[in-house]
Structure 1
């Protein structure tokens, strides 16, 4: 390895078929789009999936297995919230058929089974789990975990998959502040993973990149069609890519709060998934969960049993 190499892309070099999967629901799959476009340019087969917040019982997609649905640009779904279908429709408007595979909002056992079913259908050999934000790196004893239920359920489900390689990519440093995440603790986690060889560096998303232009176009297309629930994370990242800084708002959803749009938001932070999973203090207690409510209760029980949590730290710069 030298300065001219990217550890992330070196890990992906021998992949034949990469599944890019949103870990935390909502628009997380969008955070994987720049990587999706680059890998396609490199000749890889790439598929998109997302742990879905969409009410899949109201979606007329193709059910592939319990808790797993395929949607495309022609799939009808809820009018006010259907990012996966709208993303596929954006691809269709460009003359491309790109389905998005939706995982139901459920516990680790059925989620892992749905991943296994998708692996059987697609034959992917590599998974990149994508987090819009950085709270997937919280190991459990921090003062704030953000919104861990979906992220850690996805982490546990993919950790149990037998595939060639498994990676985690985060995008949106700073956006989890309003969910109580201490970013000094995030940086501590990065340092610990670096010591273990599990940190794969950062990659900047820059305005002139074609992959970034397509990502911005997709975000704008879908957010315009979901005016009641546009993505705060995606719009914040796009704002950072465009060079804005500080308390800049792109949606009424953030009115009344103070944002810190900054250049670190537009960086991909990449990690080895297995190393990240081994650091999570409560991953094992989630592995037999069936529902997301059960996941929430297990996390709450784990937190209640901790003798103490690591207090908030300001980044000392």
Structure 2
């Protein structure tokens, strides 16, 4: 490794088939799109998945296993909230048929079983969990954990898989402030992972990169298709890529709140997944959970028993 190399892409170079999976639900799979197009250009086989907030019982896609549904462009789902179906339709407008595999929002046990089923179906050898935000790095003693139920369930489920490689990528530094994330604690986590040799650096998403331009197109398409509930994270990142700064709003959903759109939002932060999992103080408590409610209850119980670090402002 030297200054001209990317540790993230050095790791991904070894992969044959990569599953890019949205870790935290919602639109997280969209944050994987720049990686998706770059990996395809590298000649890799790439698949897309997402821990879904869509009610999968209302989706008529092919059921591969309990809690695992294949969504294609012609798959019918809820009218006002179906990011995965919208993404598949966007690919169709480009003349491509790209399925998005949806994991139900469950506990770690069923989610891991769904990942095992998808691995048997597709044969991927590498997983990259993609977080739209940075709260997947919170280990449990920070001032705020954001919305950890989905992220840490995904982390635990993938950690238990037998694979060639497992990675994490975060996109959207700063967007989690609304959910109480202390970004000084995120940077502390990055420093700790760097000591462990598990920090794989940052990659800038810049205007004019074809992968980034396609990501922007997909986000804007989804915002038109889902005008009532566009993605705050994705629109914030697209704004940062375009050079927005400060309290800039690209959706009425954020009106009344103060935003800090900034260039750090447009960086991919990459990490070794197993090291992130080992660092999480409560992950082992979630291994045998069956429902999302159980995950949330055990995290809440952990937080009550363990003191949290005080909030820390970034001193710059």
Band of TM-score, shorter chain: over 0.9
Determine helix, strand or coil for the equivalent of 2:139.
Answer: coil
Is residue 2:48 matched to residue 1:48?
yes
Structure 2 match to 1:14: 14
What residue in structure 2 maps to residue 269 of structure 1? 269
Aligned length: 316
Cα distance per residue 1:141-179 (max 9 Å; x no partner): 011000000000000000000000000000000000010
Supply the distance in 2 between the matched residues of 1:11 and 1:179 (Cα, whole angstroms). Answer: 31
Residues in 1 aligned to 2:92 and 2:118: alpha-carbon distance in whole angstroms: 22
Partner of 1:99: 99
- Three-state SS of the structure 1 residue aligned to 2:228 is coil
Compute the RMSD of aligned alpha carbons. Answer: 0.4
In 1: Cα distance, 2:71 partner to 2:8 partner: 29
Q: Which runs of 5+ in 2 are unaligned?
A: none
Provide Cα deviations, 1:20-56, integer angstroms capped at 9, x if missing partner.
0000000000000000000000000000000000001
2:308 is matched with which residue?
A: 309
CA offset digits 1:54-77 (Å, max 9, x no partner): 001111100000000001000011
Give 1:109 deviation, angstroms: 0.1
| In the alignment, structure 1 residue 199 sits paired with structure 2 residue 203 | no
Query: How far apart, CA to CA, are the structure 2 residues paired with 1:225 and 1:92?
Result: 14
CA distance in 1, matches of 2:57, 2:230: 22
Deviation at 1:93, TM superposition (A): 1.1
TM-score for the superposition, normalised by structure 1:
0.99
CA distance in 2, matches of 1:175, 1:223: 18
1:164 and 2:167 aligned: no
- Structure 2 residue 248 is matched with structure 1 residue 248: yes
Partner in structure 2 of residue 232 of structure 1:
232
Per-residue Cα deviation, 1:157-205 (whole angstroms, up to 9, x for no partner): 0000000000000000000001000000000000000000000000000
Q: Say which SS state the counterpart of residue 312 (structure 2) adopts.
A: coil
In structure 1, list runs of 5 or more residues that go unmatched.
none
How far did residue 208 of structure 1 move?
1.0
Match of 1:173? 173
Inter-partner Cα distance in structure 2 for 1:50 and 1:275 = 22
For 2:176, what is the secondary structure of its paired residue? helix
For 1:133 and 1:94, the matched residues in 2 are separated by 27
Q: How does 1:295-306 map to 2 (within 5 A)?
A: 295-306=295-306
If the length of structure 2 is used for normalisation, what is the TM-score? 1.00
Distance 1:131 1:164 in 2: 21
